Amino acid sequence: MAKPARSHQRSAPAALRTVAVVVGTRPEAIKLAPVIAALSGHPRLQPVVVVSGQHSSMVAQVFDIFGIRPDVDLHVDDVGSQLHSMVAAVISRLGDYLARHRPDAVLVQGDTTTALGAALVGFYAALPVVHLEAGLRSDDRRAPFPEEVHRRALTLMADCHLAPTATAAVRLGREGVNEVYVTGNTVVDALLAMRERRTSYRDQRLESVDAHHGRVVLVTAHRRESWGAPLDRIALAVAHLAGSARDVTFVVSAHPNPIVRASFSVLAELPRVLVVAPEPYDSFVRLLARADLVVTDSGGIQEEAATLGTRALVTRTTTERVEGIHAGIAQLVGTEVDAIVNAVEEALAPGARTAADVTAIYGDGLAATRAVDHIDRLLRSARRTSMPQTSSAAGVSAPRCVEAAASSVMA
């Protein structure tokens, strides 16, 4: 039997429209925190923050930094990490909650298991589903896995598509999707809010790394499709580089997943390599700003590094964040040892460009305000019926926003 949601929902004046903001992972928490703040300050809207429990401790850490208190906890962490079990728990428990407390809309972010399950429940409940960070595509169903399939399914279920860039909006238009609006990426809002802080590192060893004058390479890798041999090769590449790059410190931020930690365990005792647990978001931004180069498979870090003007080497063969590739601030290097080593050595060679003035390609820090404005318009114009509402129609060749995309976002 599905475990019922435990609700801490705040009471809201009757005049306010409620938006169920469903959050499962740390990246979702980071990117939704500015939207939750904007909803909380809106005269007509009220967020109901629902955490699934997919990454419970990491989400709690982010929300503590932003001063957010969840209203509902679905506790899906009690079903384990199997994808089918987790999505089934999200569907069942969120479905039970929506049957008792019917919000005016459901807001999901990105392409996680939580986002997929929440969008499906919202669709089944005939509620408007808003998809933040819509339109990203890698064109490879297996990379990133399972996110590429999730985001395509989310497009079918969403009524309002908030695209982070004009590129994403145009892609949705080519797929015949309507109700697309370019907002910028809310990760930039969150990053800029944290950049002004100088929070102490949780791992005090990073204080000396931050203070010294040598170069720093930040390494992160955790993608499910890289588990096993690809992660092992990334670790071997770092080990090789640490043995030859005498003036460089490699900081490896190791995801808490035991599979990831097992791959990076070979680096623990090497000189010039520091393996650390993920820092809280505010101190992680400080570390990211200190780095001279980033080696990562994270989509969010690709966006954050570009915003800071730092070059990223992406240990994948494809990426949905194509803007960084086109701007020359990011480079796909795959997971082969020689390819990673060569790319890092080239990036660190004398005279190589490690930074660029392309900081606005993913947003200007106002994405959350734009997103909430579009949610407000959606709810003011929506005619609520007992039947599911769809926002796309056959024969639509481009979203209504694409014509104005160049003037509405910094792409």
**CATH number, domain containing residue 313:** 3.40.50.2000
Are the C-beta atoms of residues 254 and 277 closer than 8 Å to each other? yes
Confidence category of residue 392, pLDDT binned at 50, 70, 90: very low
| 303: annotated active-site residue | no
Specify whether 282 is located in the same domain as 401: no
Catalytic site residue from 111, 159, 189, 297: 111
Are the C-beta atoms of residues 165 and 361 closer than 8 Å to each other? yes
Q: What's the rounded mean pLDDT across residues 9-14?
A: 51
**Residues 80-133: tens digit of each pLDDT:** 888 999 999 999 999 999 999 999 999 999 999 999 999 999 999 999 999 999
Specify whether 267 is located in the same domain as 369: no
Report which residue type is found at 322. Answer: V
Confidence category of residue 2, pLDDT binned at 50, 70, 90: very low
Last residue of a domain, one of 348, 372, 391: 348
* pLDDT beyond 70 at 385: no
Residue 191 lies in a domain: no
Catalytic site residue from 171, 255, 316, 374: 255
* pLDDT beyond 70 at 405: no
Residue 357 lies in a domain: no
Residue 401 lies in a domain: yes
| 111: annotated active-site residue | yes
Catalytic site residue from 73, 147, 282, 323: 147
* pLDDT beyond 60 at 389: no
Specify whether 205 is located in the same domain as 316: yes
**Residues 328-379: tens digit of each pLDDT:** 999 999 999 999 999 999 999 987 766 655 568 999 999 999 999 999 999 9
* pLDDT beyond 80 at 294: yes
**Residues 50-65: tens digit of each pLDDT:** 999 998 999 999 999 9
Specify whether 135 is located in the same domain as 244: no
Q: Which CA distances in Å does 131 have to 159, 166, 207, 255, 407? A: 8, 15, 38, 26, 22
**What domain count does the chain have?**
2
| 222: annotated active-site residue | yes
> In the prediction, which pLDDT does 223 show?
81
Q: What is the pTM of this model?
A: 0.87
* pLDDT beyond 60 at 8: no
* pLDDT beyond 70 at 394: no
| 224: annotated active-site residue | yes
Confidence category of residue 396, pLDDT binned at 50, 70, 90: very low
* pLDDT beyond 60 at 403: no
d(Cα 132, Cα 114) in Å, to the nearest integer? 13
* pLDDT beyond 60 at 255: yes
Specify whether 312 is located in the same domain as 386: no
> In the prediction, which pLDDT does 388 show?
41
Catalytic site residue from 195, 224, 261, 290: 224
Write out the two tokens for 235.
């670790």
Specify whether 223 is located in the same domain as 330: yes
| 197: annotated active-site residue | no
> In the prediction, which pLDDT does 241 show?
96
Q: What percent of the chain has pLDDT over 90?
A: 75
Report the candidate in 202, 266, 273 with the shortest Cα–Cα distance to residue 244. 273
Confidence category of residue 209, pLDDT binned at 50, 70, 90: very high
**Residues 129-146: tens digit of each pLDDT:** 999 999 999 999 998 899
| 96: annotated active-site residue | no
Lowest pLDDT segment from 10-14, 180-184, 376-380: 10-14
Specify whether 27 is located in the same domain as 94: yes
Catalytic site residue from 71, 133, 225, 323: 133
Specify whether 163 is located in the same domain as 134: yes
Range of the domain at 266: 198-348
**Residues 158-169: tens digit of each pLDDT:** 999 999 999 999
Specify whether 215 is located in the same domain as 128: no
Cβ of 69: how many Cβ atoms within 10 Å? 9
User: Which residue has 């990105």 as its token pair?
Assistant: 110
Catalytic site residue from 150, 151, 222, 233: 222
Report the candidate in 272, 281, 261 with the shortest Cα–Cα distance to residue 348. 272
